[in-house]
Amino acid sequence: MNLIDNLKKDIENSSNKSKAKILQRFFKTGKGEYGEGDLFLGITVPRSRAIAKKYFNLDIIYIKSLLTSKIHEERLIALLILVENYKISTEEKKYQIIDFYLKNSNFINNWDLVDLTADKILGDYLLNKPKDILYKLASSFLIWERRISIISTFAFIKNNEFQDALNISEILLNDKHDLIHKAVGWMLREIGKRNQGIEEEFLKKHYKSMPRTMLRYAIEKFPGDKRLFYMKK
């Protein structure tokens, strides 16, 4: 039995039908919902990570076959394998991973797939490089590319570099999708954890027109009286 067959066997053995039913609802897979048609096996994220680490040397052809799968956890495991590969790669190999990641962004098509990988791959790669690609993604018609653009900035935020996150947050202020509101609010909150003054400077400029979900996420860690101030438009 070869590596991909062993991996598929591990996936099969890790599936859980009752958890799968819960995940189908949680990730909004019904008709007209953002995850419409996505199929789940009920594998936990820690288990998916363990499988990815076990098969980190899987050939790119098989990674691509997993990433194009209709099964959510197979796509997640493919992306987590990329994260594992990225950690130990040369600069040239990292570029190849980034290229692969971006060319296949239409398969990174749920919020957890973005959130578990974007800052660790694309964000990390761009730390000391021009950020133009993030601004292009922020204007994409694909919701998941827009989410990649803002979540990637988490890598910069962790390094106390906030400007690109603020710029992209501003671009996405009028986005129509709740999942973008949540992502932007989350990144603003992360800025606030490190420098509340910078977050509040942004909020004072925009809080009256920000989507309520975005604002709630952004001020979640503020004291009660300060939260109340910002929620009073």
Q: What are phi and psi of 40, to 5 degrees?
A: -120, 150
Q: Where are the domains of the chain?
A: 1-90, 118-233
Check residue 107 and give its pLDDT: 97
Residues 72, 110: contact at Cβ < 8 Å?
yes
pLDDT tens track for 72-89: 999 999 999 999 999 999
Overall pTM > 0.75: yes
Check residue 145 and give its pLDDT: 98
Residues 105, 144: contact at Cβ < 8 Å?
yes
- According to CATH, the topology of domain 118-233 is Leucine-rich Repeat Variant (1.25.10)
pLDDT tens series, the chain, 233 aa: 689 999 999 999 999 999 999 999 989 898 888 988 899 999 999 999 999 999 999 999 999 999 999 999 999 999 999 999 999 999 999 999 999 999 999 999 999 999 999 999 999 999 999 999 999 999 999 999 999 999 999 999 999 999 999 999 999 999 999 999 999 999 999 999 999 999 999 999 999 999 999 999 999 999 999 999 999 86
Check residue 223 and give its pLDDT: 93
Residues 97, 132: contact at Cβ < 8 Å?
no
Check residue 190 and give its pLDDT: 98
Name every residue whose Cβ is closer than 8 Å to that of residue 209 and which is 6 or more positions away in sequence. Answer: 173
Residues 230, 203: contact at Cβ < 8 Å?
yes
